[in-house]
Amino acid sequence: MSELRKDPILDHWVIIAAERGQRPNDFAIEKEEQTPSGCPFCSSNEYMTPPEIMAVCSVDRKPDTPGWEVRVVPNKFPALAIEGKVRRSGIGLLNRMTGVGAHEVIIESPEHCADIATMPREHVVNIIDTFIERIVDLRSDHRLRHIVVFRNYGAAAGASLSHPHSQIIALPTVPKLVSDKLTAARNHYLHKERCIFCDLIEQEMALPERVVFQNDHFIVLSVFAARFPFEVNIFPLSHQHDIVLMNHAQKEALADILSQILLRYRDILGGPPYNLIIQTTPNTTPRPGHPEYWRTIEYDYHWHIELMPRLTKTAGFEWGTGFYINPVSPERAAAFLRQDTAEEAEAAVGS
Ligand SMILES: [Zn+2]
Ligand SMILES: [Zn+2]
């Protein structure tokens, strides 16, 4: 079983997943394109994955057979294991926790070459519904404190298979980065009785140089202090603390705006690798000794999606300092991404 270890100085956890190191191709240079015939995520290759957890289907079918539209399976090489108790231990400064959690793969289409940027809206809604269904189910396991849904697109963003897919990792603790964000939101609320994200959205809309576009329910903002060129956040326009609360109209609007921004990445930036992360509330089941911990989360937190193309490499300076050097101003990035094509983008922002 893997193990979580806490950095004794910086207070963040690391997963030591020794089992994953036994993957035959680990640490090798990234492989080239998988062909559909050898791809474990393609329709008719269901036997190549662990037994499915759930699937969205339009036809009657047996589990692990073709006929599905979205399919969820356990990760074959999980970073965390679902069985077992969360045991905390430690001597002095060195704290450990058993690697209990969940690691699942959402296969977003039976088709190898499908792209979320060009999928029909209803299919993207099915994918969003699948994210929500898995989050709700995993939250019912009180050992799991935080669930993160993410998508790595392209080898440089960490995807080892090119077939469209996302992943879910459920953790036995709230990660430091997430808890820093939650704490900042709670502190703002305690001072002002307002949601910091609602405040930010309002301020950005008043001076729309970083607004990429919006629809009835969502807005895409070029991040003010973007770490990466063309990094954007997608926010629901009206206050909502948890992704699972979306209604159908919101899901359709999210599907539209997600496809729209990914199309811009494709058409204007040439389809770079990217990472997409859904940031929503942690498991709000009260923790022993902290009955009041999430008391104001409904009012102070605002779920969102982070999207970052991988156009620059994170290297020594970034790793050593936590500082990022972003060679594209977020205002210029927004001006680019507002256009439909690379030519229009060039013309719009000049040289
Ligand atoms: Zn495939
Ligand atoms: Zn809000």
Instruction: Over range 54-71, report the average pLDDT.
Output: 96
**Model confidence over 289-324: pLDDT tens digits?**
777 778 899 999 999 999 999 998 888 888 899 889
Which residue ranges form the domains of the chain, and what is each CATH number? 3-349 (3.30.428.10)
Instruction: Over range 34-38, report the average pLDDT.
Output: 70
Give 72 Cα–ligand 1 centroid separation in angstroms: 14
Contact between residue 185 and residue 200 where contact means Cβ atoms under 8 Å apart: no
pLDDT-based confidence at residue 30 (cuts at 50, 70, 90): very low
**Predicted pLDDT of residue 349:** 76
Residue 221: which of 333, 346, 345 has the closest Cα? 333
DSSP line for 57-79: ESS---TTSS-EEEEEEE-SS-S
pLDDT-based confidence at residue 19 (cuts at 50, 70, 90): low
* Residue 178 reports pLDDT greater than 80: yes
**Model confidence over 211-250: pLDDT tens digits?**
999 999 999 999 999 999 999 999 999 999 999 999 999 9
- How many other β-carbons are positioned within 10 Å of the β-carbon of residue 349? 15
pLDDT-based confidence at residue 56 (cuts at 50, 70, 90): very high
Share of the chain above pLDDT 70, in %: 94
Give 256 Cα–ligand 1 centroid separation in angstroms: 24
**Ligand nearest to the backbone CA of 188:** 2
pLDDT-based confidence at residue 20 (cuts at 50, 70, 90): low
Share of the chain above pLDDT 90, in %: 70
Give 310 Cα–ligand 1 centroid separation in angstroms: 23
* Rounded Cα gap, residues 176 and 329, in angstroms: 28
**Model confidence over 121-172: pLDDT tens digits?**
999 999 999 999 999 999 999 899 999 999 999 888 888 788 999 999 999 9
Per the prediction, the chain carries an average pLDDT of 91
Tokens at residue 195, please? 């949601």
Give 42 Cα–ligand 1 centroid separation in angstroms: 4
**Model confidence over 68-108: pLDDT tens digits?**
999 999 998 888 888 888 899 999 999 999 989 999 999 99
Instruction: Over range 338-349, report the average pLDDT.
Output: 86
* Rounded Cα gap, residues 263 and 270, in angstroms: 10
Instruction: Over range 19-45, report the average pLDDT.
Output: 68
3-state secondary structure 153-200: ECHHHCCCCCCCEEEEEEECCCCHHHHHHHHHHHHHHHHHCCCHHHHH
**Ligand nearest to the backbone CA of 242:** 2
Contact between residue 164 and residue 115 where contact means Cβ atoms under 8 Å apart: yes
- How many other β-carbons are positioned within 10 Å of the β-carbon of residue 118? 11
Give 193 Cα–ligand 2 centroid separation in angstroms: 11
Give 219 Cα–ligand 2 centroid separation in angstroms: 13
